[in-house]
Amino acid sequence: MNKDEVLGLLQGGKIVLRPSQERISFPIVHRIYKKLKIGLKFDSIQVAEKSIIVNGHHRYLASLPADVKIERVECPLTSAKKVTKWEVVELVDEDWDTVDHIKSLNEQDAHYNEIPLEKLMELIA
């Protein structure tokens, strides 16, 4: 998966769930995509009113080209969330995660999926 494929998804008008954030980090989507492709499981995506993503935008976008269904759980929509359209969401090259945070996420993913961290790192390299 590359950035152009994700941009195509955003512009394609065929994404079922609606976003409530205006920017997405491509490096985060790409990392999650690689993990989904090797079979790692992720926490549920939080959705309000059956179609508005409250938490899990990156997971959801990564799951589409990976052809993996991630569980959805209903949650309330707060006034802090602004529902928008995928066509206006900005896909940025900026990685919002620090090296230490990425390490922590990898450790959490290894634990959650009950595999050694070393094996996870090998699989996503």
pTM: 0.92
81: pLDDT strictly greater than 90: no
Residue 89, pLDDT score: 96
| Joined tokens for residue 113 | 């999926």
What band does 122 get if pLDDT is binned at 50, 70 and 90? very high
Q: What is the mean pLDDT of residues 76-80?
A: 84
Nearest Cα to Cα of residue 71 among 83, 55, 87, 84: 55
Among candidate residues 118, 33, 104, the one with its CA nearest the CA of residue 67 = 33
pLDDT, mean over the chain? 95
**Secondary structure string (H, E, C) spanning 19-71:** CCCCEEEHHHHHHHHHHHHCCCCCCCEEEECCCEEEECHHHHHHHHHHCCCCC
Domain positions in the chain are: 3-85
Q: What pLDDT shows up at residue 13? A: 82
Sorting pLDDT into bands at 50, 70 and 90, what band is 79? confident
User: What is the number of alpha carbons within 13 Å of residue 95 lying toward its C-beta?
Assistant: 11
pLDDT in tens, 20-66: 999 999 999 999 999 999 999 999 999 999 999 999 999 999 999 99
Name the band, by pLDDT with cuts 50, 70 and 90, for residue 80.
confident
pLDDT at 83: 92
